[in-house]
Amino acid sequence: MKQKQLGLFSLMAAVVGTIVGGAAFNLPSDMAAAAGSGPVILAWVITGLGMLALAMVFRNLSLRKRELSGGIYSYARAGFGPFIGFSSAWGYWIASILGIVAFVTLFFQTLRFFSPLFGQGDNLPSLVGGIAFVLFFHWLVARGIKEAAIINIMTTVAKLIPILIFLIIVAAAFKRDVFMADLWGSGSFSWQSVGQQVKDTMLVTLWAFVGIEGAIVLSGRAKRAKDVGVATIVGLLGTLAIYLLISVLSTGILSQAELAALPEPSMAYVLKAIVGPWGAVLIVIGLLVSISGGMLSWYLVTVEIPYVAAQDGVFPDRFAQVNRQGTPMVSLWWSTGITLLFTGLVYVSASTYQKVYSMASVAILIPYLLSALYQVKLALVGETYLKDGRRTRDLLIGALATGYSLWTLYAAGLTYLLMVSVVYAVGMVLYLWVRRGQEQSMRKWDWIVAGIIVVAALVALGGGMV
């Protein structure tokens, strides 16, 4: 039985900790590489509305379906059956692991600021350091979920301090003429150009908000169920304000071309342009702290997913085993093992931080979409709405969250969808093994979905995309 260990601040730290990782510190160049000042603002407005709708979906489902303490995995299973539920859990688990790998890659890319030893984060010293980095967080989480959550609160506060200093200094140095010079990116305004620029930023803005469901995944450990929704909404709104300010204020310091050409972490070089080298050092240290905190938040979420799925009989039973501190140790060991495997593959393939986080973002969009669809389903059939006048409102929110998820999948492009299909295809082997001998383990529509995933995976493998 889960221990109810996490209060409101721990849950908020889980949300902010998983959202504010490495992405925030490279927003100036990531956004400028795709869009001018105006489209950047529009992209954040669209992402903000879409993510707010998703956050409200998560909050609503956490209150109306309190028995589904596994969060987005549980919603997919309750709404669309065991196979879709398993696929959601598996995809989210692997996406979380890819998120951890992205943090490891960025951590050692960032260390090159102080030493050339680690190159671009894809050489042998980075691989050895990455393995030690992952094993350290394995040890930390093994000591107990509550203890790790306390440390996560501390790192969350620590990572926000350099960001706030950056925002104050950049706001004071903001130049309106620099901001207006690249307002629409290509000079004159055109809807086609603006639309394309907004579309090209979607994976960046999505990755910046991946982790919004952190409190939902840990809801089974919350002291009070109502804290889950509060932590999700507050964490989202606060983070949205920070991201919007980082992106927009930076366009008033350097031109779009200058921002796009900055190395990682670009926030450091924006601040360096204003105050000199000490500003870059401050941001780089903040990024290293942020990545460390993000790693811990992601680890807390990652080990919880197979644990909850095992309790529901979808993952093997042994994933539900815990140690004396209440940590799911089998889940932790498997999560660490796969993380180390992927870390090695990144080293062999020389994959970039952007490629890894793009795959993680697309993989996690599927569980987001299924959660939004479950909200729509509940509102349509009226379940939990017998004497509740909020049915129409929740239907509209669910539809908005569904539309945003579909739009972002489209914006991601076919290549990443095909690459992610390989991840989901591998998961089906585990599902069939766990469900062997059980009647009706796969329904007609399940087989159709499985067939589509397999075909997409074969196309990806045949095209050398993975």
Complete DSSP assignment for 410-452: HHH-HHHHHHHHHHHHHHHHHHHHHTTT-TTSS-HHHHHHHHH
At residue 396, the pLDDT reads: 93
At residue 145, the pLDDT reads: 59
Torsion angle in degrees (nearest 10) through CA of 35, 39, 43, 46: -160
- Asked: is 8-410 a CATH 3.40.50.300 domain? The reply is no
Q: What are the pLDDT tens digits along the chain (466 aa)?
A: 445 556 666 676 666 766 776 778 888 998 888 888 888 889 898 988 998 898 888 878 877 887 776 667 788 888 888 888 888 889 889 888 988 888 888 888 888 888 888 877 678 888 899 899 999 988 888 876 566 666 766 777 777 888 899 999 999 999 988 888 878 766 667 778 888 888 888 888 888 877 676 655 555 666 776 677 677 777 788 888 888 899 999 999 998 889 988 887 889 999 999 999 999 999 998 888 888 877 877 787 788 888 888 887 778 888 888 888 778 889 999 999 999 998 888 777 766 667 787 888 888 889 899 999 999 999 888 877 776 678 888 899 999 999 999 988 888 888 888 888 998 999 888 888 877 656 556 788 888 988 999 999 999 888 766 6
Task: Decide if 79 contacts 367 (C-beta within 8 A).
Answer: no
- Main-chain phi, psi angles of 222, to 5 degrees: -75, 140
**Dist CA 166 CA 160 (whole Å):** 10
Residue given tokens 């399940």 in the structure block: 446
At residue 165, the pLDDT reads: 92
Secondary structure (3-state) at 463? coil
At residue 375, the pLDDT reads: 92
**Dist CA 59 CA 372 (whole Å):** 11
Is the C-alpha dihedral spanning 421, 422, 426, 432 positive or negative? positive
Report if pTM > 0.75: yes
* Extents of the domains making up the chain: 8-410, 413-466
Task: Decide if 213 contacts 71 (C-beta within 8 A).
Answer: yes
Residue from 266, 274, 275 nearest 247 by CA? 266
Residue from 215, 316, 225, 304 nearest 13 by CA? 215
Tokens at residue 195, please? Answer: 């639309």
